Amino acid sequence: MRLLMSVTSVFMLAVAANGCSDSIGPESIDGLWEVDNSPAGNSLQISLVLNGSAVSGQGSWCGEALGCGSTSTTGTAMGNRFHLVTTEDNGVTQTFDGSLTSTNSLSGSVRESSTGGQIQLPHPQSFHRVANDPPRTQ
């Protein structure tokens, strides 16, 4: 009887621990994300959705002296790693490669290019989750 109770206790503990784990999978990308550490007056928000291994989304950007506009994002997911290409309506393209470091944090590097052909060297960039559910558009 004691053996049965011990085995049952261990099994219940394992089930409870598994149920409480904070799993970070590609589906954790769904939501509204905002870039961290933007200079004053600048911002980038992207609403992302995962469909299979494809990521897509819409968003908005603002630049201190540049005004504001809209973005479109496409990309791919491989596990918790992501390759995202965000195109702003002003001709700037940002290519981001990174991974989810938690369910609310996306970290990696970004390379920016513009219609004038100027390409920046990759630099660190991170995002934090603003909301879990992206707005749905019809």
Token pair listed for 13: 């503990």
pTM value is 0.76
For the chain, state the CA radius of gyration: 20
The beta strands (E) that lie in the chain are given as: 31-35, 43-51, 54-63, 67-78, 81-88, 93-102, 105-113, 123-131
Q: Decide if 34 contacts 127 (C-beta within 8 A).
A: yes
pLDDT tens per residue across span 45-98:
999 999 999 999 999 999 888 789 999 999 999 999 999 999 999 999 999 999
Q: What is the pLDDT of residues 1-45, one digit of tens each?
A: 444 333 333 333 333 333 344 467 778 899 999 999 888 888 999
Domain boundaries, the chain: 26-131
For the domain covering 26-131, report its CATH number: 2.40.128.120
**What are residue 2's DSSP bridge partners?**
none
- What are 100-137's pLDDT values in tens digits? 999 999 999 999 998 777 778 889 999 999 987 654 44
Q: Which residue in the block uniquely carries the two structure tokens 């479109």? A: 72
Q: Phi/psi class of residue 118: alpha, beta or left (left: φ > 0; alpha: ψ in -120 to 50)?
A: beta
pLDDT score of 9? 37
Q: How many residues does the chain have?
A: 138
